[in-house]
Amino acid sequence: MTSSLSDLSVLFPDQPLSPNYVCAFAELVKNTRARRLWLGQSLRVETHQMLAYLAGAGLDVPVGTSVTLMPLRHPYEAGIQARSVAALTGQPTVAGFGASTPAFVRAMRGEPYSSPRTAAREYLSIVRDVVEGRTPDRRGEYHVLSSMPVHPLEHPPVEIGAGVLRPGMARTAGEVADVAITWMTPPDYVRDILVPALKAGAAGKHPPPRVATVVHAAVDRPGRNLEDMAHTAAWRHLRAEHYTDMLRQAGVMAYADDPEAGAREILRHGVFVTGSPEEIANELARYRRSGVDEVIVNPAGVLFTEGLEASLVDLAEILAAAGGLDD
Protein backbone atom coordinates (compact mmCIF):
# COMPACT_ATOMS: atom_id res chain seq x y z
CA MET A 1 0.00 0.00 0.00
CA THR A 2 1.27 3.46 -0.92
CA SER A 3 -0.19 6.88 -0.22
CA SER A 4 -2.41 7.94 -3.11
CA LEU A 5 -3.80 10.89 -4.96
CA SER A 6 -6.71 11.28 -2.57
CA ASP A 7 -4.79 11.57 0.69
CA LEU A 8 -1.63 13.61 0.02
CA SER A 9 -1.62 17.37 0.48
CA VAL A 10 1.14 19.98 0.41
CA LEU A 11 2.21 22.54 3.01
CA PHE A 12 3.82 25.87 2.18
CA PRO A 13 6.01 26.00 5.29
CA ASP A 14 7.14 29.64 5.43
CA GLN A 15 5.66 33.06 6.20
CA PRO A 16 5.52 34.64 2.74
CA LEU A 17 7.10 37.98 1.94
CA SER A 18 5.31 38.03 -1.44
CA PRO A 19 2.84 35.81 -3.28
CA ASN A 20 5.37 34.28 -5.68
CA TYR A 21 6.48 31.22 -3.72
CA VAL A 22 2.96 30.44 -2.55
CA CYS A 23 1.62 30.72 -6.10
CA ALA A 24 4.22 28.16 -7.21
CA PHE A 25 3.00 25.75 -4.54
CA ALA A 26 -0.64 26.36 -5.53
CA GLU A 27 0.22 25.67 -9.17
CA LEU A 28 1.81 22.38 -8.10
CA VAL A 29 -1.35 21.40 -6.23
CA LYS A 30 -3.52 22.34 -9.19
CA ASN A 31 -1.35 20.55 -11.74
CA THR A 32 -0.91 17.37 -9.71
CA ARG A 33 -4.40 17.23 -8.24
CA ALA A 34 -2.94 16.86 -4.77
CA ARG A 35 -5.71 17.11 -2.24
CA ARG A 36 -5.10 20.54 -0.71
CA LEU A 37 -2.67 23.41 -0.16
CA TRP A 38 -2.05 24.25 3.49
CA LEU A 39 -0.62 27.46 4.93
CA GLY A 40 0.27 28.18 8.54
CA GLN A 41 -0.01 31.41 10.50
CA SER A 42 1.87 34.23 8.82
CA LEU A 43 2.87 37.48 10.47
CA ARG A 44 4.21 38.76 7.13
CA VAL A 45 1.66 38.50 4.31
CA GLU A 46 -1.40 37.52 6.35
CA THR A 47 -2.63 33.98 5.70
CA HIS A 48 -6.25 34.64 4.68
CA GLN A 49 -5.25 37.54 2.44
CA MET A 50 -2.70 35.26 0.77
CA LEU A 51 -5.39 32.66 0.14
CA ALA A 52 -7.71 35.32 -1.30
CA TYR A 53 -4.86 36.43 -3.59
CA LEU A 54 -4.52 32.87 -4.89
CA ALA A 55 -8.21 32.78 -5.74
CA GLY A 56 -7.96 36.10 -7.56
CA ALA A 57 -4.97 34.79 -9.50
CA GLY A 58 -7.00 31.84 -10.76
CA LEU A 59 -5.31 29.35 -8.45
CA ASP A 60 -8.57 28.19 -6.94
CA VAL A 61 -7.44 25.05 -5.14
CA PRO A 62 -8.79 23.55 -1.90
CA VAL A 63 -6.94 25.10 1.03
CA GLY A 64 -6.43 24.73 4.75
CA THR A 65 -4.82 26.64 7.61
CA SER A 66 -2.42 24.69 9.81
CA VAL A 67 -2.94 26.51 12.07
CA THR A 68 -3.90 30.14 12.63
CA LEU A 69 -3.49 31.34 16.19
CA MET A 70 -6.55 31.96 18.31
CA PRO A 71 -5.26 34.99 20.27
CA LEU A 72 -4.84 37.03 17.06
CA ARG A 73 -8.54 37.37 16.24
CA HIS A 74 -11.98 37.10 17.79
CA PRO A 75 -13.73 33.83 16.86
CA TYR A 76 -16.57 35.74 15.17
CA GLU A 77 -14.07 37.36 12.82
CA ALA A 78 -12.26 34.04 12.41
CA GLY A 79 -15.49 32.46 11.20
CA ILE A 80 -16.05 35.31 8.74
CA GLN A 81 -12.50 34.82 7.41
CA ALA A 82 -12.96 31.07 7.02
CA ARG A 83 -16.20 31.24 5.07
CA SER A 84 -14.84 34.15 2.99
CA VAL A 85 -11.91 32.00 1.85
CA ALA A 86 -14.28 29.19 0.88
CA ALA A 87 -16.54 31.59 -1.01
CA LEU A 88 -13.66 33.23 -2.88
CA THR A 89 -11.85 30.01 -3.81
CA GLY A 90 -15.06 28.14 -4.56
CA GLN A 91 -13.37 25.15 -2.94
CA PRO A 92 -13.71 23.19 0.32
CA THR A 93 -11.70 24.79 3.11
CA VAL A 94 -10.27 23.62 6.40
CA ALA A 95 -10.15 26.42 8.98
CA GLY A 96 -7.59 25.19 11.50
CA PHE A 97 -6.92 26.95 14.80
CA GLY A 98 -4.41 26.53 17.59
CA ALA A 99 -4.08 28.01 21.07
CA SER A 100 -0.37 28.85 20.58
CA THR A 101 2.23 28.97 23.35
CA PRO A 102 1.62 30.49 26.79
CA ALA A 103 4.20 33.21 26.01
CA PHE A 104 2.40 34.21 22.81
CA VAL A 105 -0.99 34.18 24.52
CA ARG A 106 0.42 36.33 27.33
CA ALA A 107 1.77 38.82 24.79
CA MET A 108 -1.67 39.10 23.14
CA ARG A 109 -3.97 38.89 26.19
CA GLY A 110 -1.83 39.90 29.14
CA GLU A 111 -1.98 36.41 30.61
CA PRO A 112 -1.95 32.85 29.24
CA TYR A 113 -5.01 30.65 29.06
CA SER A 114 -5.27 28.77 32.33
CA SER A 115 -7.04 26.07 30.31
CA PRO A 116 -6.13 26.00 26.60
CA ARG A 117 -8.67 23.22 26.14
CA THR A 118 -11.51 25.39 27.45
CA ALA A 119 -10.34 28.29 25.31
CA ALA A 120 -10.27 26.07 22.21
CA ARG A 121 -13.69 24.57 22.95
CA GLU A 122 -15.26 28.03 23.27
CA TYR A 123 -13.43 29.43 20.26
CA LEU A 124 -14.23 26.63 17.85
CA SER A 125 -17.86 26.55 18.95
CA ILE A 126 -18.31 30.22 18.01
CA VAL A 127 -16.45 29.74 14.71
CA ARG A 128 -18.80 26.87 13.88
CA ASP A 129 -21.87 28.98 14.67
CA VAL A 130 -20.66 31.66 12.25
CA VAL A 131 -19.64 29.25 9.48
CA GLU A 132 -22.97 27.43 9.72
CA GLY A 133 -24.96 30.68 9.71
CA ARG A 134 -26.22 30.68 13.29
CA THR A 135 -26.31 33.75 15.50
CA PRO A 136 -23.93 32.89 18.35
CA ASP A 137 -25.02 33.46 21.92
CA ARG A 138 -22.18 32.22 24.06
CA ARG A 139 -20.64 33.49 27.28
CA GLY A 140 -17.53 31.54 28.10
CA GLU A 141 -14.53 31.97 30.32
CA TYR A 142 -12.40 33.39 27.48
CA HIS A 143 -14.76 34.20 24.61
CA VAL A 144 -18.08 36.01 24.63
CA LEU A 145 -20.45 36.76 21.78
CA SER A 146 -24.06 37.76 22.21
CA SER A 147 -26.70 38.37 19.54
CA MET A 148 -24.25 39.37 16.81
CA PRO A 149 -25.99 38.64 13.50
CA VAL A 150 -24.46 36.32 10.93
CA HIS A 151 -25.34 37.53 7.47
CA PRO A 152 -26.13 34.87 4.87
CA LEU A 153 -23.30 33.81 2.54
CA GLU A 154 -23.26 30.82 0.22
CA HIS A 155 -19.94 28.98 0.23
CA PRO A 156 -18.46 25.51 -0.20
CA PRO A 157 -18.03 23.37 2.92
CA VAL A 158 -15.78 24.64 5.71
CA GLU A 159 -14.36 22.09 8.13
CA ILE A 160 -13.36 23.36 11.56
CA GLY A 161 -9.90 22.15 12.56
CA ALA A 162 -8.05 22.06 15.86
CA GLY A 163 -4.31 21.80 16.34
CA VAL A 164 -3.70 18.62 18.32
CA LEU A 165 -0.50 17.22 19.84
CA ARG A 166 -1.48 15.40 23.02
CA PRO A 167 -4.48 13.38 24.22
CA GLY A 168 -6.08 16.16 26.29
CA MET A 169 -6.53 18.48 23.32
CA ALA A 170 -7.47 15.47 21.20
CA ARG A 171 -10.43 14.83 23.50
CA THR A 172 -11.48 18.47 23.15
CA ALA A 173 -11.12 18.28 19.37
CA GLY A 174 -13.31 15.19 19.48
CA GLU A 175 -16.03 17.34 21.04
CA VAL A 176 -16.01 20.33 18.70
CA ALA A 177 -13.81 19.85 15.60
CA ASP A 178 -14.18 18.24 12.20
CA VAL A 179 -10.43 17.80 11.70
CA ALA A 180 -7.60 17.13 14.17
CA ILE A 181 -4.48 18.72 12.68
CA THR A 182 -1.28 17.19 14.01
CA TRP A 183 2.36 18.08 13.40
CA MET A 184 5.38 15.78 13.71
CA THR A 185 3.23 13.10 15.37
CA PRO A 186 4.62 9.62 14.57
CA PRO A 187 2.09 7.19 13.05
CA ASP A 188 2.04 4.77 15.98
CA TYR A 189 1.41 7.69 18.36
CA VAL A 190 -1.50 8.84 16.20
CA ARG A 191 -2.95 5.31 16.18
CA ASP A 192 -2.43 4.41 19.83
CA ILE A 193 -2.81 7.77 21.63
CA LEU A 194 -4.57 10.40 19.55
CA VAL A 195 -7.21 8.41 17.68
CA PRO A 196 -8.63 6.81 20.87
CA ALA A 197 -8.71 10.25 22.54
CA LEU A 198 -10.54 11.74 19.55
CA LYS A 199 -13.09 8.95 19.75
CA ALA A 200 -13.47 9.46 23.49
CA GLY A 201 -14.11 13.17 22.96
CA ALA A 202 -16.76 12.46 20.34
CA ALA A 203 -18.34 10.03 22.83
CA GLY A 204 -20.50 8.41 20.19
CA LYS A 205 -22.52 11.62 19.68
CA HIS A 206 -21.04 12.20 16.25
CA PRO A 207 -18.19 10.80 14.15
CA PRO A 208 -14.77 11.67 15.57
CA PRO A 209 -12.72 14.23 13.67
CA ARG A 210 -10.68 13.00 10.77
CA VAL A 211 -6.91 13.37 11.18
CA ALA A 212 -4.64 15.52 9.01
CA THR A 213 -0.94 15.15 9.85
CA VAL A 214 1.93 17.36 8.72
CA VAL A 215 5.00 15.25 7.89
CA HIS A 216 8.50 16.56 7.13
CA ALA A 217 9.99 14.94 4.03
CA ALA A 218 13.10 15.29 1.85
CA VAL A 219 14.37 13.06 -0.94
CA ASP A 220 17.78 11.61 -0.12
CA ARG A 221 20.04 12.97 -2.87
CA PRO A 222 23.86 12.97 -3.25
CA GLY A 223 25.43 15.81 -1.31
CA ARG A 224 22.44 16.52 0.91
CA ASN A 225 23.06 16.83 4.64
CA LEU A 226 19.81 15.37 5.92
CA GLU A 227 20.63 16.02 9.56
CA ASP A 228 21.12 19.71 8.76
CA MET A 229 17.86 19.72 6.81
CA ALA A 230 15.98 18.16 9.71
CA HIS A 231 17.38 20.71 12.15
CA THR A 232 16.73 23.64 9.80
CA ALA A 233 13.16 22.51 9.24
CA ALA A 234 12.18 21.63 12.79
CA TRP A 235 14.42 23.46 15.27
CA ARG A 236 11.67 25.79 16.51
CA HIS A 237 9.44 22.86 17.35
CA LEU A 238 12.35 20.89 18.76
CA ARG A 239 12.96 23.75 21.22
CA ALA A 240 9.31 23.73 22.39
CA GLU A 241 8.45 21.75 25.51
CA HIS A 242 5.00 20.68 24.30
CA TYR A 243 6.43 19.24 21.08
CA THR A 244 9.34 17.45 22.70
CA ASP A 245 7.04 16.07 25.41
CA MET A 246 4.81 14.64 22.69
CA LEU A 247 7.80 13.15 20.89
CA ARG A 248 9.08 11.47 24.06
CA GLN A 249 5.62 10.00 24.67
CA ALA A 250 5.97 8.55 21.17
CA GLY A 251 9.40 7.08 21.97
CA VAL A 252 11.46 9.79 20.23
CA MET A 253 13.96 11.08 22.78
CA ALA A 254 13.93 14.79 21.92
CA TYR A 255 14.54 17.49 24.54
CA ALA A 256 13.92 21.21 24.22
CA ASP A 257 17.42 22.14 25.39
CA ASP A 258 19.12 20.13 22.62
CA PRO A 259 17.41 20.63 19.24
CA GLU A 260 20.45 19.28 17.36
CA ALA A 261 20.08 15.92 19.09
CA GLY A 262 16.33 16.16 18.51
CA ALA A 263 16.96 16.53 14.78
CA ARG A 264 19.01 13.33 14.79
CA GLU A 265 16.21 11.59 16.67
CA ILE A 266 13.44 12.60 14.28
CA LEU A 267 15.61 11.39 11.41
CA ARG A 268 16.37 8.08 13.13
CA HIS A 269 12.70 7.46 13.93
CA GLY A 270 11.34 8.53 10.55
CA VAL A 271 9.50 11.58 11.88
CA PHE A 272 11.52 13.42 9.23
CA VAL A 273 10.96 11.07 6.28
CA THR A 274 13.77 10.52 3.78
CA GLY A 275 14.77 8.07 1.07
CA SER A 276 13.83 7.76 -2.58
CA PRO A 277 10.46 9.20 -3.65
CA GLU A 278 9.07 5.66 -3.68
CA GLU A 279 10.42 4.95 -0.19
CA ILE A 280 8.93 8.21 1.08
CA ALA A 281 5.54 7.36 -0.47
CA ASN A 282 5.62 3.97 1.21
CA GLU A 283 6.56 5.52 4.54
CA LEU A 284 3.74 8.06 4.27
CA ALA A 285 1.36 5.13 3.80
CA ARG A 286 2.10 4.14 7.41
CA TYR A 287 0.18 7.24 8.47
CA ARG A 288 -2.84 6.12 6.47
CA ARG A 289 -2.72 2.71 8.11
CA SER A 290 -2.53 4.44 11.50
CA GLY A 291 -5.75 6.40 11.04
CA VAL A 292 -4.56 9.54 9.25
CA ASP A 293 -6.99 10.65 6.55
CA GLU A 294 -4.82 13.39 5.02
CA VAL A 295 -1.02 13.39 4.96
CA ILE A 296 0.38 16.91 4.52
CA VAL A 297 3.87 16.80 3.02
CA ASN A 298 6.13 19.51 4.47
CA PRO A 299 9.25 20.29 2.38
CA ALA A 300 10.64 22.87 4.82
CA GLY A 301 14.07 21.24 5.07
CA VAL A 302 14.61 21.51 1.32
CA LEU A 303 12.95 24.91 0.88
CA PHE A 304 15.03 26.52 3.62
CA THR A 305 18.36 25.02 2.54
CA GLU A 306 18.15 24.69 -1.26
CA GLY A 307 15.32 27.00 -2.30
CA LEU A 308 11.99 26.96 -4.09
CA GLU A 309 12.80 24.92 -7.18
CA ALA A 310 14.44 22.09 -5.24
CA SER A 311 11.46 21.86 -2.89
CA LEU A 312 9.02 21.74 -5.82
CA VAL A 313 11.05 18.97 -7.47
CA ASP A 314 10.96 16.92 -4.27
CA LEU A 315 7.21 17.40 -3.89
CA ALA A 316 6.50 16.54 -7.53
CA GLU A 317 8.56 13.34 -7.31
CA ILE A 318 6.89 12.27 -4.05
CA LEU A 319 3.43 12.93 -5.51
CA ALA A 320 4.37 11.06 -8.68
CA ALA A 321 5.56 8.09 -6.65
CA ALA A 322 2.23 8.13 -4.83
CA GLY A 323 0.29 8.26 -8.09
CA GLY A 324 -0.45 11.94 -7.78
CA LEU A 325 0.77 13.26 -11.14
CA ASP A 326 -1.23 13.47 -14.34
CA ASP A 327 -0.15 11.12 -17.09
- Confirm if 213 and 296 have CB atoms less than 8 A apart: yes
Amino acid letter, residue 251: G
Give pLDDT, residue 202.
98
CATH code at position 225: 3.20.20.30
Q: Could you list the pLDDT tens digit for every one of the 327 residues in the chain?
A: 444 446 999 999 999 999 999 999 999 999 997 999 999 999 999 999 999 999 999 999 999 999 999 999 999 999 999 999 999 999 999 999 999 999 999 999 999 999 999 999 999 999 999 999 999 889 999 999 988 899 999 999 999 999 999 999 999 999 999 999 999 999 999 999 999 999 999 999 999 999 999 999 999 999 999 999 999 999 999 999 999 999 999 999 999 999 999 999 999 999 999 999 999 999 999 999 999 999 999 999 999 999 999 999 999 999 999 984 443
For residue 242, the SS3 value is: helix
Q: Which residues of 194-214 are buried (b: 16+ CB within 10 A; e: fewer)?
A: bbbbbbebbeeeeebbbbbbb
Give pLDDT, residue 326.
42
Whole-number Å distance between alpha carbons of 308 and 299 = 10
Domain annotation covers residue 213? yes
**Burial class of residue 95, CB neighbours in 10 A (0-12, 13-18, 19+):** buried
Give pLDDT, residue 323.
87
Residue 122 belongs to domain spanning: 8-321
Domain count, the chain: 1
Give pLDDT, residue 33.
78
Whole-number Å distance between alpha carbons of 5 and 204 = 30
Look at the pTM and tell me if it is higher than 0.75. yes
Phi first, then psi: what are they for 323, rounded to 5°? 85, 20
Domain annotation covers residue 156? yes
- Confirm if 236 and 301 have CB atoms less than 8 A apart: no
Domain annotation covers residue 2? no
138 has which bridge partners?
145
Domain annotation covers residue 164? yes
Domain annotation covers residue 79? yes
Beta strands in the chain (DSSP E): 8-12, 37-39, 63-65, 68-69, 93-98, 137-139, 144-146, 158-163, 179-183, 210-219, 272-275, 294-298
Domain annotation covers residue 13? yes
Strands 63-65 and 68-69: unpaired
- Please spell the DSSP secondary structure of 85-138, one letter per residue: HHHHHTS-EEEEEE---HHHHHHHHSS--S-HHHHHHHHHHHHHHHHTT---EE
- Please spell the DSSP secondary structure of 205-238, one letter per residue: SSPPPEEEEEEEEEE--TT--HHHHHHHHHHHHH
Q: Mention every residue, 6+ apart, whose C-beta is less than 8 A from residue 37.
A: 9, 10, 11, 12, 25, 26, 29, 54, 61, 62, 63, 64
Domain annotation covers residue 327? no
Inter-CA distances, 171 with 120, 165, 166, Å:
11, 11, 9
